[in-house]
Amino acid sequence: MAKYIGKGADISFGPSATGPWTKIPQAETIGELRSQSAQVNVTDLDSEEEEFIPGIKSPQSTACSIIWDPQNIVHQQVLDDAEAGVSQYFRIQVRNPVGSVISTAVFFGSYLDVATGPFSNTEALKLPFTLQRSGGITRS
């Protein structure tokens, strides 16, 4: 069984689920894509213990970080979109060691928060941001 690391993974944004895509360069980390199902209590008077069924899924947020270049136009677009509250499609791709795409996830969302820094002599400038999904994930 093949095992992979995140090397070569990338994140992009675009106006539709099919693109065109703008890659966000210098990604440092891309967090987990997850959904959480609500528990619906269906316990009745005949139940010996509480009974639950899965309810509708709730899309969770995804934390990301890029090595920030204040002069990069795509990095500036991330900041502008976050400030303006833009909702758009995002695409995360994972590649195998030879560079072929092996997994793609597309979802609709917006920037929940964005930051810049830390500003120091010992670390690269970073732009951490959190994406809030709205709806499901299309995987291929």
Domains and CATH numbers, the chain: 10-32+59-139 (2.30.110.20)
Q: How far apart are CA 23 and CA 92, in angstroms?
A: 10
Residue 139 has pLDDT above 90, yes or no: yes
Nearest alpha-carbon partner for 65 in 105, 120, 107, 26: 26
Nearest alpha-carbon partner for 114 in 68, 140, 79, 70: 79
pLDDT-based confidence at 121, cuts 50/70/90?
A: very high
Residue with tokens 């670390």: 123
Question: 20-37, pLDDT tens digit by residue?
Answer: 999 999 999 999 988 888
Q: Output the pLDDT for position 50.
A: 95
